Structure 1
Amino acid sequence: MRAIHVIVVCILLSFGFSKNQTKVKITNKSEVIIKGKSNVNSFECKYNSEFIEKDLHVSITRNNSKILLEGAKLEIKSTGFDCAHKMITKDFKSILKADDYPHIEINVIEINTAKENITTKLHVKIAGTEKEYIVPATYNQSNGNVKGLLKLNIKDFKLKSPKKLLGMVVVNDNVEICFNLFLQY
């Protein structure tokens, strides 16, 4: 999630350069929220902003409308989410297998600026399983803000949604990861 911000900043920094290296800081004003639903209710799990702030050293190579990145890899603590209800938070950490896999890894591979909207190629690793996604993002150059939404199915990562009350409450396998990142470089 932070990686998307890094990508957008790298795009802006790389105009006129074929390859360069830069330091990007993701500030603690940034937000990452995971949204999901059950057959009874919906939930939101916010990532603790104290864990967000981090410096990344990113190598950028521009290839026409694509920007290739190295080092734009983020590790998000699996236990860093709060779902505003103790039992939901506990279940969420159980879904992520937080005891066995303490981090969610997001590696931003490339940014594509060929179209009106910016897209990023991400490798996301949750509970030991890695998947690739193309994610649309927006970037506000004046304040370094990057926003985007990643939709995924937890079954893609071999995760199982919990069933409560003898199977009467079932969590949907589809979740949305909303990111609102603020970058300094």
Structure 2
Amino acid sequence: MMIIKKFVFLIAILTAVAFTTRDSVSKSTSVVITAESSLFVKGTTNVSNFSCVFNINKFKNPIQVTYHLKSDKMVFNKTALILETDCFDCGGKAINSDFQKILKADRYPQIKLYLKEISQIENTLDVHALVNIEIAGITKSYKIPVKVKNNETLRIAGDLRISLSDYNLEAPKKIFGLISVDDKIEIHFQLGVIEK
């Protein structure tokens, strides 16, 4: 259930902002994720589905973005999106508590997404974002296709499937082990981003 981005992805959103500049000098800016954005994690058990929604108002805006161009890629330095695990609402006290336990939130209260680089998908405004996601002290890299819409507010959307076991996470068993959570979870994000 580790959310995380589109996370994303979320972090991927930050990437598209940089496409507005085309020189190779290192650039620095800051962006704000708007209140119309959404980020949630979906999972399944052997009896039902669940969804944990991140409280968008809890983003620590503005987010600093530093990047430079390298060949046909934008390379980012120290560009991170931090998600506080206690800002997810799964729809009830018990499932929220289970979600926190799965993420080992007592020891690791944050999910960290580091934007590493983006590259434009040919003949589109869409990009591939290389993102490092840190959950429970373990970091994994993902290349995420991200859809970008550019109007007054930059809109970034994407999906990512991850495995709990990749982060050495295990869902708690309920009712003598009769209810189990699937290892695969999905992270969905739709982010509005404006330059500060």
Q: TM-score, normalised by structure 1?
A: 0.94
After the TM superposition, which of the residue ranges 51-60 and 174-183 deviates more from structure 2? 51-60
| 2:65 is the counterpart of 1:58 | yes
SS of residue matched to 1:5? helix
Equivalent residue for 1:98, pick from 97, 105, 121: 105
SS of residue matched to 2:35? coil
Change (3 A) 1:71 1:55: farther
The ranges of structure 1 where at least 4 consecutive aligned residues each deviate by more than 3 angstroms after the TM superposition are 114-117
Quote the residue 1:128 is aligned against.
137
Say if 1:45 and 1:84, in contact at 8 Å, map to a contact too. Answer: yes
Gaps of 5+ in 2: none
Residue 114 of structure 1, CA deviation: 4.4
Residue 64 of structure 1, CA deviation: 2.8
Aligned mates of 2:57, 2:114 — CA distance in 1? 21
Say if 1:28 and 1:53, in contact at 8 Å, map to a contact too. Answer: no
Equivalent residue for 1:154, pick from 160, 164, 168: 164
RMSD: 1.3
Percent of matched pairs sharing the same residue: 30
Say if 1:27 and 1:52, in contact at 8 Å, map to a contact too. Answer: no
Quote the residue 1:108 is aligned against.
115
Residue 28 of structure 1, CA deviation: 2.6
Alignment length, in residue pairs?
A: 183
Aligned mates of 2:129, 2:40 — CA distance in 1? 19
Amino acid at match of 1:88: I
Residue 83 of structure 1, CA deviation: 0.5
Gaps of 5+ in 1: none
Of Structure 1 and Structure 2, the greater strand share is in 1
Residue 53 of structure 1, CA deviation: 4.9
Quote the residue 2:179 is aligned against.
169
Quote the residue 1:73 is aligned against.
80
Equivalent residue for 2:147, pick from 138, 141, 144: 138
